[in-house]
A and B are shown apart, each in its own frame.
Chain A
């Protein structure tokens, strides 16, 4: 379980899942049927972002294609397209996008716009240079090719640890209750602190191995760049692990059955770690109230750390705030675990 789950998650997230759009299915209604309109279609196809799945005979045919989801973009090229373009007039061109998936639609339109603009510049009539009055030069840092895998894999390192730590740890004390060995444990002269620390250490080791394996796989198999410092990642992972394990142990100490412990830990870690940590959805874009809530989720800080170290190659000076938050979280985790445990003894 401790190794199966990370493997499945890495495989799925690394191979199967991506936000990068390729081969957006596109239909064209070409009323012009000129060399220019064909050239535009070729430019779309050559970009790799669009696949032309059909050429339609009329506007009425567009709706069924979009409605059944067999095409995401429809391009309508008016009859005077080549004429306008060659005469140096603005040539209108209509793009209809299936907006139901807002994200895909926005990205598809942005790609289409970029391709159309560059095609227009290339096919300007002789003697007229189509230098735009305002040139915009965009550069991307840290993830130059905008590959979603580079964003997901470092985040996944954090999410895996959060879930594993909370789930494994939540089972360990309730298992003693269920197995009836808790009384024995209480009768021994070890102190609560020693029990909690002793319960925690093996999982810290497992967790660190998970981090190392996941990071190594990310760099070697998935070719995610690693630009920062390994020791820094190690130290901050340790703080994060201790905090998450503490949370898990606290839940465990409070629940008499493993089932209940598991349900609780799943509820408190799984969904928040996925959705409110910035793993997939940027916390900056959330409404203010929710943005405040995300500050309570430790994975949020750790994801900034892993992305910062993997992609940005930043050091302790930049990550000190996150580091402090995670150390505080670790201290809190241990204290809460010890306190919760003591109640049960008394």
Chain B
């Protein structure tokens, strides 16, 4: 009896895999979407301020002021793209967004510097991109502070010397944070889309009734409609992981076994959500739209791009029900921090709970809609 059930299930899984992989558009999505997203998040999406364009207004024009400018460009964080004598040019350059920062060195800078009586430099930032301006200001102020300590004849010796160290990502590359995140978003999307489309397609074609009258039990039908997509998503998971390691050279410090193990309840919750979508959509178009409406807030409230800790308390609570949030924490901790199960068991537990709950809900609704 168990043998027959196993055989029925394997036939269904096989059929579903063939259906999906034969469809050129779905095939494209399974292979190209992860590559596309990896490229975007590996190259385009970066919050690292490097070579930010700067306009320099040097009223002093001495060797001292040139040294100061060199300290700025030598850091690699800024490049001087324009020079001018008039402060009014700064307004135009910032208005038009040609530069991110303006540096104004007042006349008499070299004199003040030599006397040690507090030479002043003015920095002007375009705050429209608040994030970039914050980061750039931090860099610029620290570069000048360090320059002052190193190169200026300083009568002052006191103060606090803050020595910074960044653990887990010493060069502070945002790529190391974003690329593992793609692992989570892409598999989530693929599970969601494939599962919901597969069920709704059968309903549209009227073949769902045929499946109903076949000797398949409801549980087997659900398993047959979810397992193949978990397998496909798993394939993508491996693909993205390998590319992240080989191409983008993101360090994997923890255990790959834990990473893949934690993916099982995560993918389960994703396919269960897909199944849930299929129960509320009559057509493929509707299911696609629902997927989209669900995917957007899930992604925004996951910490993928915006830190959860900065959200208001109410939204922070909501994120607790978001499988993407927990999985992202696991993925990033395993990749960058080398964390083990002893650190990550709360997230794993949350995933198991969410996965079971959504699956139970989807299964109940699924039974109702097919009856």
Footprint of B on A, CB under 8 Å? Answer: 1, 5, 8-9, 12-13, 15-25, 40, 64, 66-69, 72, 85, 88-107, 109-114, 116-117, 119-121, 124-125, 128, 130-144, 146-148, 150-151, 258-260, 262-263, 266, 271, 275-276, 278, 280-282, 284-287, 290, 304, 307-308, 311-312, 314, 318
Q: Given that A16-B300, A97-B164, A102-B174 are known contacts, is A134 also in contact with B121, CB under 8 Å in the complex? A: yes
B359 in the interface (beta carbon within 8 A): no
| New A-B pairs, 5, CB < 8 Å, besides A85-B158, A281-B45, A285-B49 | A98-B168, A99-B168, A114-B141, A128-B156, A137-B120
Residues A95 and B132 in contact, CB atoms below 8 Å apart: no
Query: A139 near B124 (CB under 8 angstroms)?
Result: yes
Question: Which of A67, A93, A262 touches B289 (beta carbons < 8 Å)?
Answer: A262
With contacts A117-B160, A258-B285, A285-B49 taken as known, whether A148 is within 8 angstroms of B130 at the C-beta atoms is yes
Q: Are B172 and A99 in contact (CB under 8 A)?
A: yes
Residues of A within 8 Å of B284, CB to CB, are 259
B205 interface residue per 8 A CB criterion: no
The complex places the Cα of A97 from the Cα of B168 at a distance, in Å, of: 9
Q: Are the C-beta atoms of A25 and B309 separated by less than 8 Å?
A: yes
For the complex, give the distance between the alpha carbons of A121 and B159 in Å.
7
Q: Is B94 an interface residue (CB 8 A)?
A: yes
A72 CB to closest chain B CB (Å) equals: 8
CB <8 Å contact, A138 and B116:
no
Nearest to A95 among chain B residues (CB) is B164
In the assembly, what is the distance between CA of A314 and CA of B47, in Å?
A: 26
Asked if B53 is at the interface of the complex by the 8 Å CB criterion, the answer is yes
| List of A residues within 8 angstroms of B50 by Cβ | 285
Pairs A-B, 4 closest by C-beta atoms? A110-B138, A99-B166, A143-B127, A99-B169
Alpha-carbon gap, A173 to B311, bound state (A): 41
* Contact A286 B128, beta carbon cutoff 8 Å: no
B260 at the interface (CB under 8 A from A): no
| A1 x B300 contact (CB < 8 A) | no
- Residues of B contacting A128 in the complex (Cβ-Cβ under 8 angstroms): 156, 158
Q: Is the CB of B172 within 8 A of A105?
A: yes
Flag if A116 contacts B160 (CB, 8 Å): yes
- Known contacts A23-B309, A143-B130; A97 and B166 CB within 8 A of each other: yes
CB-CB under 8 A for A8 and B159, given A132-B118, A286-B44: no
B172 touches A90 (CB 8 A): no
Q: How far is the CB of A163 from chain B (nearest CB, A)?
A: 9
| Set of chain A residues within 8 Å of B329, measured between Cβ atoms | 69
List the B side residues contacting A15 at CB < 8 Å: 312, 315
Residue numbers in A under 8 Å from B292 (CB-CB): 266
**A271–B172 alpha-carbon span in the complex (Å):** 25
Binding site for A on B (CB under 8 A): 25, 36-37, 40, 43-53, 94-97, 100, 113, 116, 118-135, 137-142, 144-145, 147-148, 152-170, 172-174, 176-177, 283-285, 288-289, 292-293, 296-297, 300-301, 305-307, 309-312, 315, 329, 332-333, 336-337, 339, 343
Known contacts being A90-B161, A91-B161, A100-B336, is A285 close to B145, with CB within 8 Å? Answer: no
Whole-angstrom distance between the Cβ of B300 and the nearest chain A Cβ: 5
Alpha-carbon distance A68/B342, docked complex (angstroms): 10
Q: Are A102 and B130 interface neighbours, CB within 8 A?
A: no
Taking a contact as CB atoms under 8 Å apart, the answer to whether A103 and B135 are in contact is: yes
In the complex, A24 Cα to B308 Cα: how many Å?
Answer: 11
Residue from the set B48, B128, B133, B311 with the largest chain A CB neighbour count within 10 Å: B128
Given contacts A107-B135, A284-B53, contact A134 B127 (CB under 8 A): no
Does B158 contact A107, Cβ atoms closer than 8 Å?
no
A90/B121 in contact, CB under 8 A: no
**Which residues from chain A contact B116 at a C-beta distance below 8 Å?**
133
How far apart are A271's CB and chain B's nearest CB, in angstroms?
7
Which residues from A are CB-within-8-Å of B176?
A: 100, 102
Q: Is the Cβ of B138 less than 8 Å from the Cβ of A109?
A: yes
State whether A99 touches B167 (Cβ < 8 A): yes
Task: Give the distance to chain A from B88, nearest Cβ to Cβ, in Å.
Answer: 14
In the complex, what's the smallest C-beta–C-beta distance from A199 to chain B, in angstroms? 18
Contacting pair A276 B128 (CB below 8 A): no
Residue of A nearest to B116 (CB): A133
A110→B43 contact, CB < 8 A: no
Report the bound CA distance from A104 to B47 in whole Å. 10
Contact B113 A134 (CB under 8 A): yes
Q: What is the bound-complex CA distance between A77 and B133, given in angstroms?
A: 30
| Bound-state Cα–Cα, A278 to B131, Å | 12
With both beta carbons as reference points, the residue of chain A lying nearest to B154 in the complex is identified as: A133
**B126 & A141 in contact (Cβ 8 Å cutoff):** yes
Q: Tell whether A102 pairs with B127 under 8 Å between CB atoms, given A97-B164, A124-B158, A130-B159.
A: no
